[in-house]
Structures are given as structure tokens and as C-alpha cells.
A and B are shown apart, each in its own frame.
Chain A
């Protein structure tokens, strides 16, 4: 059974008198434990697709089903709860909170959970350990290199054991050596059972994935 099922998803943006069709009927199915990369040129609709998958962007039409739940039929803040429990995000620019240390950044998704402080810290340290940064937990983001910041961002994304890890151009701001290390980390997480959906424009990243979905002009090519 598919963990993610997207049926005929369309997304239109209206700006003044112009209407831009970012997605024009996309059907995708992703199985549990799969590592899928979404490739496409700028403007192909891949970022829109990822934000729809992340429960942050209502599609104009079509349905998005994750783990058997129709995402955009969830009432009010239940969508936020779904994100907190099932999704992990890795952003292109890391988006670490500058005034929180590495371990505090990793603990961020747990701030709204009912776990005790000790359990939260243990989970955060375990996630940092998983990305090889346990020793630098007390550092602020500006005291870490780009690759290290990316690892902290990955640790933050996996700390709540999400069903799906969504990554948006995670190597976009990294040199090739660090990019390889980060991609290897994603591969390792995937081998441990983590479902990964990654948007990238770097063809080299596709070799780490089980499958690549190519988007062109808002449709699966």
C-alpha cells in the first residue's frame, strides 16, 4: 500500500489578472521506505509539489493522501498536528533558529510534545549522534560550518521519528564533497527504513534515490 498517494493534483496561483498553473494534474504514488527524488527545471512545479506534500499548501483540486489520511480534509489545526507527528522537513537554507544551540534546534519539534525534558534531550542527542554531530550540540548555528548546519537540520527533521522526510534542495548551498556526505546520510537514513522525498535539480543526487520523478511544466514527464 502506498504511503503517499497524490491524485490529479492541480495548483493555480492567481496574481492580479494572471493565473499561473504550477501543477496541472499530478498523480504520484510513493511506497513506505522509498527514497524518491523529484527533479525538474526552475518553474516546473517541484517546490509547489513539495509544499503540498508537506501539508502547507492547499491544492486547487485533487487529493493528497498520506498514511491513509486525506491531508487537506483535516480540520483546522489538525493539519499542523499531522505535520508535527508524521513529517520532517529539511530546508535548502537550513533555517536553523539562530538563537538556539544545535541541540536546542534539534529539540524544537519536541517543544510541543508531552515528553519530559530529559527524554527530549536524549532524543535530540541521539539524532545529533545519528548525523555525527553529538560533540557540537552546544554550538550556535553561526559557530557551525554549512555542512554541519545541514546535518543539524537533518537531525531536527528526524528527531520525532517522522513517517516521511521531505527535503528541499538540501545540497543547494553545499560544496560537492559536503553534498556527497549529506546525500550519503540521507541514503543511510533511508536504509534504516526512513521514507525520503527530496526535491533537487542536481542529477548526481538521483543516484542515491530508488526512483526519480521528473516534472515538466507542472506535470510528471
Chain B
């Protein structure tokens, strides 16, 4: 018989009390585990979703260009010493240190062309990569597959008066309109898209790229580092982070985290109160017992140890139960909470450690005052019979 035997026997033979205390604390821990796991999983899902919204790094040719914009009206610009991006250099992007954070690299070649007496901006793209980056594109007709097929923005189609299946002559080449974009509200509406290789030929820019859009996965990705890494490999190019997109992503994630921390704080408070009230009730209920302990020579510290050991054991159990239930809850809730059906539940061992640690700290802190109160009980008052 040691002091811990008293604690263990009390818990073992007062199952209802122990279950109540465990459930009270476990509910708090489970809520925290569910919130954290859901937030992590949803954050991952949002990151994936946001990466579908477009590029966040823009690579353009290095030039000493003087912008001639005023009040939103562009008057063109003066470029000198302009250097092109070589298509062969694109492979280098995949070799940067943070290459695993790159979701898609979409090169483009731009140039003016005369179509049906209209000046249009012809854009050569790799459609598979472009579509991966611009998942909001809705195409009437087909995605261009053959070399001489085009995709027209909605405004361009209107101005040129063409429908899918029609043919157009671009710089002397007959091209077929495979599809027309639904209105996007962006500059894409007035563009004419063709296969990269073909447009390079039509514009006489073989092997050259006008700009490259890069979509980076944002899960802790250091966009500025990636910008520097790409810039080092492509000294003739200007690499810029599209700050607005990056900041927007980070802000959305931050808001999620803040929400989950606030919720966790409330639940921690409620959990602590449950433990405190239950332990306080338990101590009051055991007044006579504590009086006996003191009468037979237990020190105050012995009484405290018995109470805190009980709290510690229940807290650990609540931590285990809470983690299990919390993860189960997160798994059940994720399909309803996440934006996409492909959201994956994040199993983070740190959450398990956090659940156990938090349960233990919470249980012990909330039981500290009841334990102190018990240890300070006057044995004569406690026993009353004496």
C-alpha cells in the first residue's frame, strides 16, 4: 500500500465519478483536437483550393522599360535592352530548392496579330498547364488539342463574330476555333489563345517566352525565397511575387487559426471549470476521509499528492479519450466543413502530444486549489466526531 494505491483504488471503485470527470475533461480535449485537426485539414484544403485560383509568382523578361501609365490609362512604354526568356531555361525552375512547393509552371508567348481586320493579342499557352492554373475557365466547345486550333475570349469572339467550329486566318495561317471562353471579367475575355509552339512560329518567336506564371503551394512556402531562387537561376528575367495573392492566402489561413484558437480558449476554460467544480465537489464529499488521513498521520503534502495523482490519472485518460473522440469527430465533420470532397484529414502526432499534455496541465491546474483546500482541512473539523 502506497499513496498511489489510494488514488487508484478510489478511481477504480468510484467508476461513475471517474467517468463523469473523464467525460467532462475529454469533451474539452476532444473539441480542441477536432478544431485543430479540422483547421489543419481545412487549411490544407483551402491552400489546394486557392492554388487553383492562379499564379502567385510572375516571371517576365528583364528590361529597362519606363512605364507610361497615368490614371489607369496606359500609353505603352519605352523598352530598350529587352532580353527574352529562353524556353530552354524553364526546366531550371524545377530545380530550385523549394521546387516541391511549385504546383504549376505556365509559360506564355504574347504578340499582336491581324485577324479579320482587327488587331488582336495572340497568346501562346500550354493548355494543360493553363487549365490547371485557371480552373475557373468555362469553355464552350473543346479545349484546343491540334496545333492549328484556337481558344477565344468571349469579347474577342464577339468582335470577330465567330462561333466554335469557324475558321480564322491568323498571320496567313488558317486556324480553327475549337472553343470559346465564357465571360471571365478579366483580360482573358479579349485574348486569342493558341498552342504555344504554333503561336511562337506565327509570331516569329521560336524558343522564346514572353512571361511565365508560377503557382506555388502555400503551405508554409516562403514565396520570397522562391522568388530569389528562381531569379538566381534566370538572371535575364524579372521575378516578382504577386503579393496580393500571397497575402490573401496567408490572411485567410491566419483567420482560420485565430478562430480555432479563440474556440479552443473558450473550451479550455469550460473544461477547466468542469474539472475544478468536480474536484472541489469530490474533496467536499471526502471531507471525513481526508480527516482520517490527517488523523492517522498523513502530512498535508500526502493529501495533496493523493488528490493530484487522481486528477493526473483522470486527466491522462481524458487526454487519450479526448484525442480519439476528437479525431473521430474531425473525420466525421471534415466532409461537411471542407470546401472540396478531396480534403484529407491531417494526422499530426503533435496534436496527440498536445492533447495529452493539455489534459494533464488542465486537470492538474484545475485540481490544485481543491487539493490545497483538502490538505488544509482541520482534521478535527473534518471528523467532527472527535
The reply to whether the CB of A191 lies closer than 8 angstroms to some CB of chain B is no
> Contact check: which of B3, B293, B299, B386 meets A51 at CB < 8 Å?
B386
Contact with B along A32-58 (1 / 0, CB 8 A): 000000000000000100110010110
Contact present for B385 and A120 (CB under 8 Å): no
Interface size on B, residues (CB 8 A): 30
Distance in angstroms between the alpha carbons of A70 and B14 in the assembled complex:
41
Q: Please indicate the chain A residues that have their CB under 8 angstroms from the CB of B301 in the complex.
A: 77
Distance in angstroms from A185 CB to nearest chain B CB is 19
Contact present for B380 and A57 (CB under 8 Å): yes
Interface residues of B in 344-380 (CB under 8 A from A): 378-380
Distance in angstroms from A44 CB to nearest chain B CB is 15
Contact present for A156 and B1 (CB under 8 Å): no
Q: A56-B379, A99-B9, A99-B14 are in contact. Are A89 and B295 (CB under 8 A)?
A: yes
Distance in angstroms between the alpha carbons of A120 and B291 in the assembled complex:
22
Most buried by B among A80, A99, A108, A140: A80
Q: Closest B-chain residue to A85, C-beta based?
A: B297
The reply to whether the CB of A144 lies closer than 8 angstroms to some CB of chain B is no
Contact present for B1 and A91 (CB under 8 Å): no
> Contact check: which of A50, A84, A99, A121 meets B297 at CB < 8 Å?
A84
The reply to whether the CB of B288 lies closer than 8 angstroms to some CB of chain A is yes
Contact present for B380 and A56 (CB under 8 Å): yes
Interface residues on A, range: 35 or more
Q: Please indicate the chain A residues that have their CB under 8 angstroms from the CB of B5 in the complex.
A: 104, 111
Most buried by B among A84, A95, A109, A124: A95
Contact present for B300 and A110 (CB under 8 Å): no
Contact present for A54 and B386 (CB under 8 Å): yes
Q: Please indicate the chain B residues that have their CB under 8 angstroms from the CB of A83 in the complex.
A: 295-297
Contact present for A92 and B385 (CB under 8 Å): yes
Distance in angstroms between the alpha carbons of A32 and B156 in the assembled complex:
116
Q: Please indicate the chain B residues that have their CB under 8 angstroms from the CB of A100 in the complex.
A: 6, 9
> Contact check: which of B1, B2, B13, B294 meets A56 at CB < 8 Å?
B294
Chain B residues close to A by CB (< 8 Å)? 1-3, 5-6, 9-10, 12-14, 288-289, 291-302, 378-380, 383, 385-386
Chain A residues close to B by CB (< 8 Å)? 47, 50-51, 54, 56-57, 77, 80-85, 87-89, 91-93, 95, 97-100, 104, 107-112, 117, 120-121, 124, 140, 156, 168-169
Identify 17 new A-B residue pairs, CB closer than 8 A, beyond the known A56-B378, A111-B298, A112-B299: A54-B295, A54-B386, A77-B300, A77-B301, A80-B298, A80-B299, A84-B297, A98-B13, A99-B12, A99-B14, A100-B6, A109-B297, A111-B1, A111-B5, A117-B1, A120-B1, A156-B296
Interchain residue pairs with CB less than 8 A apart (17): A50-B386, A54-B295, A56-B380, A77-B301, A83-B296, A83-B297, A84-B296, A89-B295, A97-B289, A98-B13, A100-B6, A100-B9, A108-B296, A109-B296, A110-B1, A112-B302, A117-B1
